[in-house]
Amino acid sequence: MTDVQGTDLDIQTQDGVVDAYLVHPADGRPRPGVLFYMDAYGLRPHLRSMADRLAAAGYTVLVPNVFYRLGRTPVVELPEFIDPGADPTIWERLGPVVGSLTPDLAARDAGAYLRRLADSPLVADGPVALTGYCMGARLALWTAAAHPDRVAAAAGFHGGQLATDDPGSPHLGAPNITAELYFGHASNDHSLPPEQIERFEKALTEAGVRHTCEVYPGARHGYTQADTPAYDKEADERHWAALLGLLERTF
């Protein structure tokens, strides 16, 4: 396993300062860049460990706190093991935070994140890849649509609300996407019912987007998150194989 080096940094945007985590192979050589979009639970030890694993595979990975407008990490105090079933107030506190990040704000912030990667001597020249989890899957789609010249590949895992009736629904950006996409849906996910999966894939197909969409049988929303009850080791390892395969094809 390649040794990695991680550091905390700040990124200036039009609306403030984002606290973020950057990790890369310890040799310091420029590597392909990956913008890693967090889930609603935020930038925490588990996400850092996921970014470390990705960096060890040969990438420079940036994980921004996308809720920076409401404060630095942790925006909402959460326990080490996050179980909304045991504490329903978790989502009462997180709901308004998630809702505050509109598609327009997300796309604008993405420009700052992508510039930070482009300016880093640790990132190889050229487009980057995206990966996103839960709400981060929506952010990956909005970013791929808003910045097609900067995004070569995008992945999303156990994403919710990908193809709704909302005018800002992520699937509506499909005609602008030039990246190759991979999406691993959870079969047990109330935030992405079968009709949304069908609508999402139809939008990608009609737009001519190169894509693979798979449903992970038995997996729950959040299956990659080992600090939650939704974690599914088999589905998580399948996610890693799919993500690394996409990145290998891209870079």
How much is the pTM? 0.98
> Is 104 in the active site?
no
Q: How confident is the model at residue 185 (pLDDT cuts 50, 70, 90)?
A: very high
Residue range 48-60: mean pLDDT, rounded: 98
Whether 221 is catalytic is yes
Q: Is the pLDDT of residue 1 over 80?
A: no
Q: Which of 221, 232, 236, 239 is catalytic?
A: 221
| Contacts for 59 with CB less than 8 Å, ≥ 6 apart | 24, 31, 32, 33, 34, 129, 247
Question: Known catalytic residue: 239?
Answer: no
Contact residues for 234 (Cβ-Cβ < 8 A; gap 6+): none
Would you say 72 and 48 are in contact if contact means Cβ atoms under 8 Å apart? no
Place of tokens 């967090």: 38
**pLDDT tens, residue by residue, 2-48:** 899 999 999 999 999 999 999 999 999 999 999 999 999 999 999 99
Contact 195, 168 (CB under 8 A): no
Q: What is the pLDDT of residue 173?
A: 98
Residue 56 identity: A
CA distance 251 to 31: 10
pLDDT, the chain, mean: 97
CA distance 153 to 142: 13
pLDDT, tens digit, 9 for 90 and up, residues 122-155? 999 999 999 999 999 999 999 999 999 999 999 9
Query: If you average pLDDT over residues 63-87, what whole number do you get?
Result: 97
CATH 3.30.70.260 fits 4-250, yes or no: no
Separation between Cα atoms, residue 231 and residue 225, nearest integer Å: 5
Label residue 61 by pLDDT band (50, 70, 90). Answer: very high
Name the CA radius of gyration of the chain, rounded: 17
